[in-house]
């Protein structure tokens, strides 16, 4: 597109429109960092709480979840830095951001009032995280994330149905296959398509 006033015919106009719109596809930003960050944070939280409960005399094992605060700071710093580097933002990027803001607001409310839930917030968090992961998978058309969301939902059903002795094993499995595996797959996919 060297000259500024090239003569156009309608066919050529249509071609330009199609070509440019096509170029904006695939502009969705790599969000694997967030899945990996939160996957590891939640996994550490769950496994840490189990270990503290079973192997120590600590009366407040749920305090392990305070690791969320440094994770939030890391999330914000990464988000701001990444945002500054980006020179294009799609409507789907905004939609994806809104999905996770909705998750964060819901999550914060549950966390603040977790005493009201007798500290049994894992199924609620999983339902929220599963919904957000599923929706992100739909928005960016990435099947492993869609399946990751379904893993969260199945995990919650298992939490309610299986014997209490096995419940402790469910949550780490859900995080690994709901967040971490799709997160690493997304990272690999984004690298290949960079």
Q: List interacting residues with other proteins (CB under 8 A).
A: 1-6, 8, 10-14, 16-17, 19-21, 23-24, 27, 84, 87-91, 93-94
User: 155: which 2 tokens?
Assistant: 């995990």
User: 146: which 2 tokens?
Assistant: 């869609």
Give whichever of 96 and 171 is closer to other proteins, judged by the CB atom: 96
User: 38: which 2 tokens?
Assistant: 């939160």
Q: How far is the CB of 17 from other proteins (least distance, A)?
A: 5
- 3-state SS string for 105-129: HHHHHHHHCCCCCCCCCHHHHHHHH
Of 173, 150, 136, 194, residue with least CA distance to 39: 173
Give whichever of 6 and 54 is closer to other proteins, judged by the CB atom: 6
Q: How far is the CB of 113 from other proteins (least distance, A)?
A: 35
Give whichever of 84 and 116 is closer to other proteins, judged by the CB atom: 84
Distance CA 54, CA 36 (A): 27
Q: How far is the CB of 193 from other proteins (least distance, A)?
A: 16
Q: How far is the CB of 93 from other proteins (least distance, A)?
A: 7
Q: How far is the CB of 27 from other proteins (least distance, A)?
A: 7
Give whichever of 78 and 119 is closer to other proteins, judged by the CB atom: 78
Spatial CB neighbours of 119, under 8 Å, sequence gap ≥ 6: 62
Give whichever of 13 and 188 is closer to other proteins, judged by the CB atom: 13
Direct distance between the N- and C-terminal alpha carbons of the chain, in angstroms, rounded to an integer? 25
């Amino acid at each position: 597109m060297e000259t500024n006033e090239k003569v156009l015919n309608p066919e050529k106009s249509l071609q330009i429109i199609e070509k440019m719109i096509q170029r904006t596809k695939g502009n969705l930003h790599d969000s694997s960092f967030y899945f990996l960050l939160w996957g590891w944070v939640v996994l550490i939280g769950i496994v840490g709480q189990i270990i503290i409960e079973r192997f120590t005399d600590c009366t407040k094992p749920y305090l392990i979840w305070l690791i969320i605060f440094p994770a939030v700071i890391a999330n914000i710093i990464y988000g701001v830095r990444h945002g500054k580097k980006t020179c294009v933002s799609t409507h789907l990027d905004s939609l994806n951001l809104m999905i996770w803001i909705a998750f964060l607001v819901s999550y914060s409310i549950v966390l603040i009032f977790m005493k009201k839930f007798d500290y049994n917030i894992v199924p609620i968090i999983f339902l929220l995280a599963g919904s957000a992961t599923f929706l992100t998978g739909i928005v960016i058309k990435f099947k492993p994330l869609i399946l990751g969301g379904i893993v969260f939902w199945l995990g919650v059903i298992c939490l309610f149905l299986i014997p209490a002795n096995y419940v402790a094993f469910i949550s780490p499995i859900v995080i690994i296959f709901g967040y971490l595996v799709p997160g690493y797959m997304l990272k690999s996919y984004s690298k290949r398509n960079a």
